[in-house]
Structure 1
C-alpha cells in the first residue's frame, strides 16, 4: 500500500472478509481453543457471538447447512428452563432427575435468556416455542426492590451482580417478549405484571458520574460498557433522554444527556499501546499558548497535565503490531479516561452515540482505520483486543459490530441498541403483531 504525503491519511484498509468468514467457520464447526474451557458453562453467549458474526458477514445461510441451522435452534430451545428463562448451557439440565434439592444448580440466567432470544431472532425463528408468560413472570421476579436486576434465582434468592449489564439484558428480554406495551398484559389468560420501570431508571440515574459517564454503581468510575448498557436499557424501555433539549424528562435518564455525549466524544484516542506513554509533543509551550478543554475550561500555557486533547501516540512507541500498524493513523475508543484504545470500546462508544442519535460526533473513518489497520488479524481473521493480539470471539464480534456502526459497507447494517443486525431486529414487529402487543 502506497504511503501518501505527510499531510494526508493513508488509504483506508479493507476488511478481509474471506479470512473473517473462515475464522468464524472454525469457531462454529471445530473445537474452540483450550482457553475457552473455562467458558463451557457460558456457551449461549459464545453461540450468540458466532451466529451473529456470520449474520453480519452475510454468511449465515451458507456456512451452516439447513439441518445445522435447525439443530442450532433446537439446541437453544433445549436450554429453555421449565420455570421461565433460558440456561446458559444444557449441562445443568437434570432432566427426569430434576428435583427440589438439585434445582439450585439449574437456574435460568438473565444474560443467557437475552442471548438465546437474540440468536433466535437472528435465525428468523417465530418464537412460538418460547414460554413467554413464564419468562416474563420470571423476569419480574429477578428485579430487586431497589430496581436493579440479578443474574439468577437460587433457593428463592436473587443472586449475581446488580449493574447495568444485567439491566440491559433484562430490558432486552422485556422488549422482545412484550414490545412497547407497558403495564399488565394478558398472555393466554394469564395476567403478567410489568417490571418496575421507575425503580430501574432510578438505578441508572444514581450511577451517573459528575463527568458524564455512567458507572456500574454510585460513586464508581464511569466506563463505556456500563454507559452503553445503561443507555441501551433506557432506550429499550422507552425512558431515554436524548440531547434534543425539549424532550428531556425528569422521569427518564440520563439526567444530563449533553454531558453524557461530552464524555463519549472524548473516548476517541490514538493511544494504542498499553505500555506506552502520552506523546507530549502534541501540546507544548511553543505550539499551544492555551488549549480548549471538553467542558470549555482553558488550560494555561505550559500545563503538561490534562490538556483536553485526544491522546496521541508516536509510532516509535507502538509495539507488537505490523509495519502497517505503525503507519496507519486510525483512532479507536477507550473505555475510561486516560486509557488506551481497545477494539471492544469502538462498539460500546459507537453504539452509545447511535442510541443517542448522534453517530457522527466521533470520527468514523478514523475508527474504521483503527479497527482494520491495527487490530484486524491479517492471518487468522477476526480482531484482537490490542494491535498484535491474537483474535478472540468477544473482540472479533464487537469489532465487526463497531465496523458496521462506523459506516462500513463490508458488513450488514447493525442495530446498535440490541447489538445484532438491523435485519434481525426488524423481524420483531411481525412477531409482536401476532401477539397483539404495541410495536
Structure 2
C-alpha cells in the first residue's frame, strides 16, 4: 500500500510527545474518582494506552514488570474455551451474553496463545458467517444490523482462521467505503456522525479485504489530526470534543494503518504492533 502522506506537514503534524505524555498522565491518575468509577474498563485502558505508546515508539517509558504484575492479578480462573456455545458462538462471561465481539476476542486470544485447538474453529466460523447480512456486512448476532465495529470483529476472526473466502469482498468493500463522510472521517453506520474510532474499525477491515484504495486516505488522516488536542495531548472522537485514551489509541492506530510517518506498523487483524505479532508467531 503506497503512503499518501508524504506531504504530512501541510495537513498538520501528529503531536507524538504530547500524546505520549497524555497517556502516561492518565495512568498516574488511576486512583481519582473518574478512574475508580471506570475500573471495569481498566484492563481495556491498559491495552489502549500501552499499544498507543508502542506505536509512538514510547513503550520504554513504562515499567513493564509493574504492568505484567497487575495484569496477572486480573486473570480469572475460567478458561476462554469454556465460553464457546453449542452453535459455535461465544458468551462474554458466565452470564451468557452472545455477541460476535466475543467470537473475535476468543479466536484472537487463543491464536496468540497458540491454543486455537482448544475450541471448535469450524463451528466458530460457521456462527460468524451466519451473522452476515445481505449488504455484505455483519451484525452482533444473526439478523442484527450491520455495524463497522462488528464487521471488524467478524472479518478479523475470519482472517485469523483463514476463512476470508466466506466474505463478498466487493459488496462489503462498498458498504465500508461509503462510511466516509465529507469531513474525511468515517462513521459506523449510514447517516451517523463520523468518529475517530472508525478510523480503525473500517480501515482495518478494508485493508484485510484489500479494498482500502476505495477511500480518500488523505482526507481521513487530516480528520484524525484535526481531532488532536494540540496543547495537552490526546485525541477525541470529533474535532474540539474531549479527548480520551480510547480515541487516542484508535486515532494513532488508524494513522499507523495509513503508514503515517514515524509510527510503528500495526497488524489489521490482531490489532497489535506487527513486531509483537512476529515475535509471538515467528520468534523474531
The TM-score with structure 1 as length reference comes to 0.60
Paired residue for 2:181, among 269, 273, 285? 269
Choose the corresponding residue for 2:269, options 417, 423, 435: 417
2:140 is aligned to 216
The 1-side partners of 2:281 and 2:195 are apart by 35
Q: Does 1:339 align with 2:192?
A: yes
Inter-partner Cα distance in structure 2 for 1:345 and 1:34:
29
Partner of residue 177, structure 1: 113
Bigger relative CO (Cα 8 Å, ≥ 6 apart)? 2
Q: Note if contact 2:181-2:194 (Cα within 8 Å) is conserved in structure 1.
A: yes
Deviations 1:5-39 (A, max 9, x none): xxxxx931110112111111102233376434332
Q: Separation in 2 of the partners of 1:400 and 1:336?
A: 22
| Contact 2:92-2:99 at 8 Å conserved across structures | no
Q: CA offset at residue 403 of structure 1?
A: 1.0
Rounded to whole Å, the distance in 1 between the matches of 2:122 and 2:108 is 17
Q: Which residue pairs with 1:366 in the alignment?
A: 219
Residue equivalent to 1:88: none
Where does 1:192-341 land on structure 2 (aligned, <5 Å)?
A: 194-241=118-165, 253-254=166-167, 256-270=168-182, 330-341=183-194
Number of matched pairs: 276
Higher percent of residues as strand: 1
Contact kept in structure 1, 2:234 and 2:244, CA below 8 Å: yes
Task: After superposition, give the CA deviation of every residue in 1:297-320 in whole Å (9 maximum; x if it has no partner).
Answer: xxxxxxxxxxxxxxxxxxxxxxxx
Aligned equivalents of 2:240 and 2:31: distance in 1? 20
The residue correspondences of 1:1-400 to structure 2 (distance < 5 A) are 11-31=10-30, 34-61=33-60, 63-64=61-62, 68-81=63-76, 83=77, 108=78, 138-153=79-94, 159-178=95-114, 183=117, 194-241=118-165, 253-254=166-167, 256-270=168-182, 330-373=183-226, 375-400=227-252
Partners of 2:248 and 2:209 lie apart in 1 by: 24
**Against the structure 1 CA distance between its residues 33 and 398, is the aligned structure 2 distance closer, same or farther, given a 3 Å change threshold?**
farther
Asked if 1 retains the 8 angstrom alpha-carbon contact of 2:180 and 2:215, the reply is yes
Deviation readout 1:188-214 (Å, 9 max, x if unpaired): xxxxxx312222222222221211221
Runs of 4+ with deviation above 4 angstroms: none
Query: What is the root-mean-square deviation in Å for CA atoms of aligned residues?
Result: 2.0
Counterparts of 2:37 and 2:136 in 1: how far apart (Å)? 35
Q: How many Å separate the matches in 1 of 2:172 and 2:154?
A: 11
The correspondence for 2:257, drawn from 386, 393, 405, is 405
- How far apart in 2 are the matches of 1:239 and 1:144? 20
Alignment partner of 1:47: what SS?
helix
Say whether the 8 Å CA contact 2:29–2:35 is kept in structure 1.
no
Shift of 1:430: 4.0
Q: Which digits, 9 at most, give the CA deviation of each residue in 1:162-212, with x for residues without a partner?
A: 111111110111211227xx65xxxxxxxxxx3122222222222212112
- Aligned match of 1:86: none
Instruction: Please list the CA deviations of residues 223-256 of structure 1 after superposition, one character each: whole Å capped at 9, or x if unmatched.
Output: 0000000000111122222xxxxxxxxxxx23x2
- For structure 1, list consecutive stretches of 5 or more residues without a partner in the other structure: 1-9, 84-107, 109-137, 154-158, 184-193, 242-252, 271-329, 434-439
Q: Is the 8 A contact 1:385 1:391 kept in 2?
A: yes
Distance, in Å, in 2 between the alignment partners of 1:152 and 1:262 is 34
Structure with the higher fraction of residues in helix conformation: 2
Rg bigger for which structure?
1
Q: Which residue of 1 aligns with 2:3?
A: none
Whole-Å separation in 2 of the counterparts to 1:355 and 1:46: 25
